[in-house]
């Protein structure tokens, strides 16, 4: 009888575990249209697709993205809540202009997190990652040469976020993305008159060499050098 009772308890426990697993799986869902719209607009902000002062209309975005008005509006309002966009009135949403104080805070975050993410990523990056980074650098070189800054910024974001994602620190990655959302539109104003693309390309090559050598300090130093370069340029622009 004791054995039967014990077996019954074990069976019930297994059923509870299976039920718990099922309930956790039920919470997972595919990307919604609102999330897809958010990712698209967020990428555009990080890649310099917009500049400070640009106005965004949910209806226009919906048409551009091929979605209905509701997911477009949800995406825009989410970005407003995150500080990446500014709601002037119910009909007017703009890309905000960075204040000097906001700029300083953003770079405090970037200096603290991005070199650290690079240092943590070194041992996780694979040979395939290195090949992908080399392809992105080659692509970036051609895009800058053609003056295709939007695509160059996209390749640059893919390059750096491939490194940061390899650190396997999702919370850190989310903070880095939040900083990029705010600084991306202003960074676009540096090109083509203030920034020298060759400087950025050279630092990306240094990062790849550091990854190949599995040198965490060298990769962190390359990222820090790039941050100081961008910060100095933006400081002149904002001041």
Q: What pLDDT, on a 0 to 100 scale, did the predictor assign at position 24? A: 38
Stretch 68-73: mean pLDDT: 93
193 pLDDT band, cuts 50/70/90, is confident
Q: Which one has a higher pLDDT value, 2 or 232?
A: 232
Q: What pLDDT, on a 0 to 100 scale, did the predictor assign at position 7? A: 53
Percent of all residues in the chain with a pLDDT value above 70, rounded to a whole number: 87
Domains, in order of start, for the chain: 33-94 (1.10.10.10), 100-238 (1.20.120.530)
* Mean pLDDT score of the chain: 89
16 pLDDT band, cuts 50/70/90, is very low
Percent of all residues in the chain with a pLDDT value above 90, rounded to a whole number: 80
Q: What is the DSSP track for the chain? A: -HHHHHHHHHHHHHHHHHHHHHHHHHH--PPPHHHHHHHHHHHHHHTTSS-TT-EE-HHHHHHHHT--HHHHHHHHHHHHHTTSSEEEETTEEEPPPPPHHHHHHHHHHHHHHHHHHHHHHTTT--HHHHHHHHHHHHHHHHHHHHT-HHHHHHHHHHHHHHHHHHT--HHHHHHHHHHHHHHHHHHGGGTTTT--HHHHHHHHHHHHHHHHTT-HHHHHHHHHHHHHHHHHHHHHHH-
Q: What pLDDT, on a 0 to 100 scale, did the predictor assign at position 192? A: 86
Q: What pLDDT, on a 0 to 100 scale, did the predictor assign at position 8? A: 53
Look at residue 17 and tell me whether its pLDDT is greater than 70. no
Look at residue 10 and tell me whether its pLDDT is greater than 70. no
Stretch 108-129: mean pLDDT: 98
């Amino acid at each position: 009888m004791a054995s039967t009772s014990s077996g019954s308890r074990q069976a019930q426990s297994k059923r509870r575990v299976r039920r718990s697993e099922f309930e956790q799986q039920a919470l997972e869902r595919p990307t919604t249209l609102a999330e897809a719209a958010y990712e698209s607009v967020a990428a555009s902000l990080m890649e310099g697709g917009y500049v400070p002062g640009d106005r965004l209309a949910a209806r226009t975005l919906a048409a551009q993205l091929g979605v209905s008005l509701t997911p477009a509006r949800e995406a825009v309002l989410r970005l407003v809540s995150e500080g990446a966009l500014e709601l002037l009135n119910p009909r007017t949403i703009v890309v905000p202009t960075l204040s000097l104080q906001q700029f300083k805070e953003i770079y405090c975050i970037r200096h603290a997190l991005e070199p650290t993410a690079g240092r943590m990523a070194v041992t996780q990056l694979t040979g395939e990652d290195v090949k992908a980074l080399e392809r992105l650098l080659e692509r970036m070189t051609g895009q800058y040469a053609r003056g295709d800054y939007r695509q160059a910024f996209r390749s640059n974001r893919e390059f750096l976020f491939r490194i940061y994602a390899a650190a396997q620190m999702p919370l850190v990655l989310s903070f880095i993305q939040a900083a990029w959302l705010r600084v991306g539109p202003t960074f676009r104003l540096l090109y083509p008159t203030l920034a020298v693309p060759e400087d950025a390309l050279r630092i990306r090559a240094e990062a790849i060499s550091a990854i190949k050598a599995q040198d965490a300090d060298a990769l962190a130093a390359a990222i820090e050098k790039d941050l100081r370069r961008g910060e100095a340029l933006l400081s002149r622009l904002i001041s």
